[in-house]
């Protein structure tokens, strides 16, 4: 019997005899007389019991949380070899710090009205950077929106971030998406979209495509997909569809849930009644682990192992639930002190966060000190502000970008509408400011 | 003898006298207009091989390079479901990135459109999914975003709504929001696998097939024609073929050549009813291009899908009754983005227009067509543009034949417009 949250839950359920012969897809399953277990098509190996007992969710059986470092940055398991090089750890640290510093500056910039919107990742930098460091650069990423650290780790420059945030002409998204909706073809990261959880079944399909590409061209390297989402998004129907379809089609995909305790104002306790998101993975027949998201080494190690698992035997999905706390407001449009105590947030900030924990670890190794900390922070701040100023001064994309890329070619209808808009601007020139767009009025010519 | 013969014989004993008892699909005994469509004689179908191969709408598009040297194009008589099967088989054979999946497609599909494809192309490329429309379409978008050409099946168009979010917010907007990331490129040492896309983050390879339209007894959830809900969405192409030969050519274009996501609605009442000669070689019919099915000078009838057969019957009756009248019949084929030029050219010539479709009249395709005609051909119009469509109600089982535009309603609409 598989119980949610119990250790038995990690046992792989028996698979159906799944041998495909032309014209015949399933071998028949029949209930043998005198069998001690159920063999119906819908449950092929369920032992009978004469005890009437409902399987009940039990808090005591909560899935354990994998940790490498304790809150003081010390390796918990004595004599454990932690496979981290000094320069790697410093890179992760600087990436997390960059995100953190950029977050503070951009949050304030939004408050000053210089930016329409922003979302910080405070408290969750470790999940993003730790997991990204365990992936291959060719692995494909689908993110939700609070994973800025992945973009930083994969190679997004400060100018890349700022061009998107200011929707200027260097933004590959051509100024169409709200801030923080990053994307990069070169870095194999699909463009973020606002509807929650829609990326999860898409990621399963993308993983299936990668699996087929490798099957059809075995010399091409095996790749997987990493798909990120919050615990709130996991309540959407798309989450259910995705995990089920990924399991039945054996897709090489890592589902990475950031469980940060809140979906805007809704606490997890109003989001679900079970043992977090992890307990659900088991129900779909998916290998699952829960990790401490404030421990970058745990996130990294779990993701490394999960990636190996998900590429084994042609592929299968793996679910990682990374626990953390959303230190920040949900977004610049949210004041979280309307629904939670400031002292609680301050407590989390001070007591446990992924940046200070890695710093303590590095200090214990003698890799980092107060002076480096001061100099790095100051240098990063200057770099962010310089990129900020460059991006803010740039023109926006040409006006025709509003109509292009709806289809691969401009339709006759769109061409006519561009002309109509151009006519209006020509006849009411004082009503429109076209100069902030590249090529001004001429930018509307196809 | 069919197995239903005996139970029916028993029923007959208890039933009312024949004068009071009619089987489902019959027509009133005195009817002159509302007769069943005779698919074996309708001019909309190619009843001979010669007709299909000489058709200006098919022959120029036949890919003769696929034929063995010195052999001529041939045809086979196929019902609509087999023509779709032939298109799917060709597409799966043409590119390793074409996948076919949905609910129950593996054994051949509930309408037999995917028969034998699993055996030919294997379970990795033709497979069943769990029963989840949002999952099927989301999964398909993901395959397409990584350069594949997924053909996803939604079992009935009535069940596409769980996937509405994925189609409207995602499929339609992937290329637009990706911007320059949507442009594929072989630069930067990116490895492009044979038959797969080149890394552009669009979902242009996506095709979602779904059986749609009335079938005589489908009631609320096996009869719907939701095309106009999707014609409101820039980024999607909405295609609806009228016949087996059209379906094959339009589906092949949708899967193999169209760089945009396509919703492909298949009139399920025609799956078995419409049988015609279909060229065996592959051919690719253009999307967003209407076809003038019969030329005329006095009025333009614009429709698509199944009602084209009813329109044809109504036109024949009108032309018999009103000597000298010639009606022009246009099949939109793609309902969005639609071929405005062909329609306007026709209406500017005839001065009168009638739009016919099965789905509800309110905010239907007819509303868009009529409004566009009013804007672009106002000075040439000699009568209001008439819309003949389903009533603004649901498809109640017992009332279906009063809901879908029939020959009498179309006849009357044309007559009123001509006599305006």
B269 plus B304 within the same structural domain = no
Q: What average pLDDT does the segment A335-358 reach?
A: 85
A413 plus A389 within the same structural domain = no
CB pairs under 8 A between A and B: 190
A331 plus A205 within the same structural domain = yes
Inter-chain residue contact B142 with A184, CB threshold 8 Å: no
Residue A241 lies in a domain: yes
Residue B133 lies in a domain: yes
A183 and chain B: CB distance < 8 Å anywhere? yes
B218 plus B306 within the same structural domain = no
Smallest Cβ distance to B179: which of A172, A242, A411? A172
Residue A14 lies in a domain: no
- Give the total number of structural domains in chain A: 2
Bridge pairing between strands A266-267 and A262-263: antiparallel
User: Hey, how many other C-beta atoms are within 10 angstroms of the C-beta on A218?
Assistant: 8
Contacts with A249 from chain B: Cβ below 8 Å = 127, 129, 139
**Selected catalytic residue, list B61, B90, B133, B227:** B133
3 state DSSP class of B222: coil
B130 and chain A: CB distance < 8 Å anywhere? yes
A407 plus A436 within the same structural domain = yes
Among residues A393, A414, A431, which one ends one of the domains? A393
What's the pLDDT at B186?
59
pLDDT tens digits for range A263-316 = 888 888 899 999 999 999 999 999 999 999 999 999 999 999 999 999 999 899
pTM here?
0.93
B164 plus B293 within the same structural domain = no
Residue B366 lies in a domain: yes
Q: What is the CATH number of the domain that holds A330?
A: 3.40.50.970
Weakest mean pLDDT among A333-347, B19-33, B34-48, B288-302: B19-33
B128 plus B185 within the same structural domain = yes
A78 plus A214 within the same structural domain = yes
Assess whether pLDDT exceeds 50 at residue A14.
no
Residue B11 lies in a domain: no
What's the pLDDT at A341?
84
- The range of the structural domain enclosing residue A411 comes to 399-444
Helices B340-350 & B365-376 angle (0-180, nearest 10): 60
Smallest Cβ distance to A205: which of B140, B162, B204? B140
Closest Cα of chain B to A203: distance in Å?
A: 6
Among residues B279, B300, B321, which one ends one of the domains? B279
B309 plus B353 within the same structural domain = yes
What's the pLDDT at A1?
37
Among residues B279, B306, B333, which one ends one of the domains? B279
User: Hey, how many other C-beta atoms are within 10 angstroms of the C-beta on B41?
Assistant: 8
Is residue B133 part of the annotated active site? The answer reads yes
A405 plus A364 within the same structural domain = no
Q: What is the CATH number of the domain that holds B369?
A: 3.40.50.920
What's the pLDDT at A18?
42
Band (pLDDT 50/70/90 cuts) for residue B2 is: very low
Smallest Cβ distance to B201: which of A20, A191, A249? A191
- The range of the structural domain enclosing residue B308 comes to 289-418
Give the nearest chain B residue to A223 (CA atoms). Answer: B146
Contacts with A151 from chain B: Cβ below 8 Å = none
A404 plus A354 within the same structural domain = no
B327-331 β-sheet, strand order? B291-294, B327-331, B299-303, B353-360, B386-390
Band (pLDDT 50/70/90 cuts) for residue A347 is: confident
User: Hey, how many other C-beta atoms are within 10 angstroms of the C-beta on B311?
Assistant: 29
Q: Which of A11-15, A265-269, B194-198, B325-329 has the highest mean pLDDT?
A: B325-329
Assess whether pLDDT exceeds 80 at residue A25.
no
What's the pLDDT at B187?
61
B80 plus B212 within the same structural domain = yes
B146 plus B248 within the same structural domain = yes
A381 plus A404 within the same structural domain = no
A176 and chain B: CB distance < 8 Å anywhere? yes
What's the pLDDT at A17?
40
Residue B71 lies in a domain: yes
Residue B328 lies in a domain: yes
B99 and chain A: CB distance < 8 Å anywhere? yes
Mean pLDDT value across chain B: 93
Inter-chain residue contact A241 with B127, CB threshold 8 Å: no
Residue A41 lies in a domain: no
Residue A25 lies in a domain: no
Mean pLDDT value across chain A: 91
A196 plus A249 within the same structural domain = yes
3 state DSSP class of A2: coil
The size of chain B, in residues, is 420
Residue A6 lies in a domain: no
B175 and chain A: CB distance < 8 Å anywhere? yes
What's the pLDDT at B67?
87
Q: What is the CATH number of the domain that holds B225?
A: 3.40.50.970
Contacts with A237 from chain B: Cβ below 8 Å = 132, 134, 162
A58 and chain B: CB distance < 8 Å anywhere? no
Residue B311 lies in a domain: yes
Band (pLDDT 50/70/90 cuts) for residue A336 is: confident
A389 plus A411 within the same structural domain = no
> Cα–Cα distances in Å, from B7 out to B3, B24, B216, B307, B353?
8, 16, 22, 34, 49
B334 and chain A: CB distance < 8 Å anywhere? no
B259 plus B405 within the same structural domain = no
pLDDT tens digits for range B259-273 = 999 999 999 999 999
Among residues B256, B279, B302, which one ends one of the domains? B279
A226 plus A253 within the same structural domain = yes
Whether B239 and B174 have beta carbons less than 8 Å apart is answered as no
A143 plus A69 within the same structural domain = yes
Contacts with A18 from chain B: Cβ below 8 Å = none
Band (pLDDT 50/70/90 cuts) for residue B20 is: low
B90 and chain A: CB distance < 8 Å anywhere? no
Smallest Cβ distance to A238: which of B130, B138, B340? B138
Give the nearest chain B residue to A240 (CA atoms). Answer: B135
Among residues A393, A414, A433, which one ends one of the domains? A393
Contacts with B191 from chain A: Cβ below 8 Å = 220
Task: Report the C-alpha gap between A406 and B243 in whole angstroms.
Answer: 29
Inter-chain residue contact A245 with B130, CB threshold 8 Å: yes
Q: Following DSSP, what letter does each residue of A283-306 receive, concatenated?
A: HTT-EEEEEETT-HHHHHHHHHHH
Assess whether pLDDT exceeds 70 at residue A7.
no
Weakest mean pLDDT among B64-68, B159-163, B274-278, B356-360: B64-68
Residue A60 lies in a domain: no
B319 plus B235 within the same structural domain = no
B264 plus B401 within the same structural domain = no
A310 plus A267 within the same structural domain = yes
Assess whether pLDDT exceeds 80 at residue A3.
no
B238 plus B126 within the same structural domain = yes
pLDDT tens digits for range A225-273 = 999 999 999 999 999 999 999 999 999 999 999 999 888 888 888 999 9
B95 plus B157 within the same structural domain = yes
Assess whether pLDDT exceeds 80 at residue B188.
no
Assess whether pLDDT exceeds 70 at residue A164.
yes
ipTM exceeding the 0.85 mark: yes
- Give the total number of structural domains in chain B: 2
Residue B129 lies in a domain: yes
Residue A46 lies in a domain: no
Residue B41 lies in a domain: no
- Find how far residue B78's CA is from the centre of its chain: 16
Residue A19 lies in a domain: no
What's the pLDDT at A342?
84
What's the pLDDT at A436?
96
Task: Identify the sign of the CA torsion B405, B410, B411, B413.
Answer: positive
Is residue B90 part of the annotated active site? The answer reads no
């Amino acid at each position: 019997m598989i119980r949610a949250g119990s250790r038995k839950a990690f046992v792989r359920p028996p698979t159906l005899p799944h041998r495909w012969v032309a014209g015949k897809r399933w071998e028949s399953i029949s209930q043998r007389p005198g069998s001690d277990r159920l063999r119906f098509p819908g449950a092929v190996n369920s032992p009978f019991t004469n005890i009437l007992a409902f399987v009940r969710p039990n808090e005591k059986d909560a899935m354990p949380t994998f940790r490498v470092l304790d809150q003081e940055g010390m390796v918990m398991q004595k004599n454990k070899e932690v496979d981290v090089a000094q320069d790697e750890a410093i890179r992760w640290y600087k990436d997390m710090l960059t995100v953190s510093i950029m977050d503070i500056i951009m949050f304030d910039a939004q408050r000053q009205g210089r930016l329409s919107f922003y979302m910080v990742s405070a408290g969750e930098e470790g999940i993003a950077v730790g997991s990204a460091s365990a992936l291959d650069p060719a692995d494909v990423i689908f993110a939700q929106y609070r994973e800025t650290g992945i973009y930083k780790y994969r190679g997004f420059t400060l100018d890349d971030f700022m061009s998107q945030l200011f929707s200027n002409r260097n933004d590959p998204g051509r100024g169409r998406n709200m801030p923080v909706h990053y994307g990069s073809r070169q870095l194999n990261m699909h463009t973020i979209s606002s509807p929650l959880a829609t990326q999860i079944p898409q990621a399963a399909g993308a993983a299936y495509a990668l699996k087929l590409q490798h099957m059809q061209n075995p010399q091409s390297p095996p790749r997987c997909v990493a798909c990120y989402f919050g615990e709130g998004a996991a309540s959407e129907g798309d989450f259910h569809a995705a995990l089920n379809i990924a399991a039945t089609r054996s897709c090489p995909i890592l589902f990475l849930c950031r469980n940060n305790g809140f979906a805007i104002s809704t606490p997890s306790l109003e989001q679900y009644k079970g043992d977090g998101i992890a307990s659900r993975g088991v129900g779909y027949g998916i290998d699952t682990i829960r990790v401490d998201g404030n421990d970058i080494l745990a996130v990294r190690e779990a993701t490394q192992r999960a990636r190996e698992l998900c590429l084994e035997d042609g592929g299968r999905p793996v679910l990682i639930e990374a626990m953390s706390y959303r230190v920040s407001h949900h977004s610049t449009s949210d004041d979280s002190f309307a629904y939670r105590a400031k002292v609680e947030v301050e407590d989390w900030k001070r007591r446990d966060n992924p940046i200070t924990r890695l710093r303590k670890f590095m200090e214990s190794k003698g890799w980092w000190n107060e002076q480096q900390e001061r100099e790095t922070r100051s240098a990063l701040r200057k770099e962010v502000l310089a990129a900020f100023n460059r991006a803010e001064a740039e023109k926006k994309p040409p006006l025709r970008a509003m109509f292009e890329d709806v289809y691969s070619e401009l339709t006759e209808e769109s061409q006519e509408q561009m002309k109509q808009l151009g006519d209006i601007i020509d006849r009411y020139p004082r009503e429109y400011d076209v100069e902030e767009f590249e090529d001004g009025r001429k930018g509307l010519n196809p | 003898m069919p197995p239903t013969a005996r139970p029916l014989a028993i029923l007959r004993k208890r039933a009312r006298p024949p004068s009071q008892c009619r089987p489902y699909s019959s027509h009133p005994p005195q009817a002159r207009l509302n007769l069943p469509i005779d698919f074996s004689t309708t001019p909309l179908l190619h009843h001979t091989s010669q007709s299909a191969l000489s058709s200006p709408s098919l022959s120029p598009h036949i890919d003769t390079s696929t034929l063995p040297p010195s052999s001529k194009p041939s045809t086979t008589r196929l019902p609509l479901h087999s023509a779709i099967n032939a298109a799917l088989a060709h597409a799966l054979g043409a590119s390793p990135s074409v996948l076919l999946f949905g609910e129950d497609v593996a054994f051949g599909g509930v309408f037999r459109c995917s028969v034998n494809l699993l055996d030919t192309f294997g379970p990795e490329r033709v497979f069943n999914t769990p029963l989840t429309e949002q999952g099927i379409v989301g999964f398909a978008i993901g395959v397409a975003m990584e350069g594949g050409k997924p053909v996803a099946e939604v079992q009935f168009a009535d069940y596409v709504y769980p996937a509405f979010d994925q189609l409207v917010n995602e499929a339609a907007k992937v290329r637009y929001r990706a911007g320059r990331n949507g442009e594929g490129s072989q630069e930067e040492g990116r490895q492009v696998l044979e038959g797969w896309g080149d890394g552009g983050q669009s979902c242009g390879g996506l095709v979602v097939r779904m059986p749609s339209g009335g079938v005589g007894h489908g009631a609320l959830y096996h009869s719907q024609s939701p095309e106009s809900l999707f014609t409101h969405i820039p980024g999607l192409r909405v295609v609806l073929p009228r016949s087996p030969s059209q379906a094959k050519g339009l589906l092949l274009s949708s899967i193999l050549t169209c760089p945009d996501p396509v919703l492909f609605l298949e009139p399920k009442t025609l799956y078995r009813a419409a049988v015609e000669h279909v060229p065996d070689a592959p051919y690719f019919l253009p999307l967003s291009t209407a076809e003038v099915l019969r030329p005329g000078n006095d009025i333009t009838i614009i429709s698509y899908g199944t009602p084209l057969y009813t329109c044809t019957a109504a036109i024949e009756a009108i032309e018999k009754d009103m000597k000298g009248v010639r009606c022009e019949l246009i099949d939109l084929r793609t309902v969005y983005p639609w071929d405005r030029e062909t329609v306007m050219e026709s209406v500017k010539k005839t001065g009168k227009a009638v739009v016919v479709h099965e789905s509800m009249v309110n905010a239907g395709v007819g509303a868009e067509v009529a409004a566009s005609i009013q804007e672009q051909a106002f000075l040439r119009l000699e009568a209001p543009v008439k819309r003949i469509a389903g009533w603004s109600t649901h498809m109640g089982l017992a009332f279906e034949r009063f809901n879908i535009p029939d020959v009498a309603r179309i006849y009357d609409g044309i007559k009123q417009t001509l006599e305006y």
